[in-house]
């Protein structure tokens, strides 16, 4: 009677309204921006939906191509990079959102030259193009870049590029 094959059918039969409700809320969230599967699960759990129903809906939407951690990782990396954040911070934020390590490595290459140039731009935007001789001011600029998520090589590069 309660065979493994009949369980999903039983869940579908009992929770059609719940499934439709979760599905519509997930699609509305995806219409605003890309979300990782983890983010969507947490949002729906906070709305007090059943975790089994959430997983069923997310599996279905993933098979339809509407939920994609790969697409999320690509969009998130592009967005955060364009906002001036460095690779260390982007990697950390993607891991917080439980994006697979393979996807993180695919979309965030810390050795890419554009990260070095971004560090230079962020330093110049905040502090200007003048050379810094004062150790306290230099430390302040380095801390700023570290907080933005740049690694030490990128920070050193940015500090050396000052005219």
Condensed to tens digits (0 to 9), the pLDDT of residues 104-133 reads 999 998 888 999 999 999 999 999 888 888
Residue pair 99/37 in contact (Cβ under 8 Å)? The answer is no
**pLDDT tens digits along 70-87:** 999 999 999 999 999 999
Count CB neighbours of 1 within 10 A: 3
Residues ≥6 apart with Cβ < 8 Å to 114: 81
CATH code linked to domain 113-160: 1.10.10
Residue pair 97/138 in contact (Cβ under 8 Å)? The answer is no
Residues ≥6 apart with Cβ < 8 Å to 161: 120
């Amino acid at each position: 009677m309660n065979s493994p094959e009949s369980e999903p059918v039983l869940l579908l039969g009992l929770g059609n309204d719940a499934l439709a409700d979760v599905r519509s809320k997930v699609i509305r969230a995806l219409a605003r921006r890309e979300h990782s599967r983890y983010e969507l699960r947490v949002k729906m759990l906070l709305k007090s939906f059943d975790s089994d129903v959430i997983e069923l809906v997310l599996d279905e939407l993933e098979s339809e191509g509407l939920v994609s951690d790969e697409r999320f990782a690509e969009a998130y990396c592009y967005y955060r990079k364009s906002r001036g954040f460095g690779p260390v911070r982007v990697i950390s934020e993607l891991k917080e959102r439980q994006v697979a390590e393979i996807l993180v490595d695919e979309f965030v290459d810390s050795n890419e030259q554009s990260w070095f140039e971004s560090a230079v731009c962020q330093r110049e935007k905040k502090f200007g193009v003048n050379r810094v001789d004062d150790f306290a001011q230099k430390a302040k600029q380095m801390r700023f870049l570290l907080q933005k998520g740049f690694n030490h090589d990128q920070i050193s590069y940015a500090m050396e590029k000052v005219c």
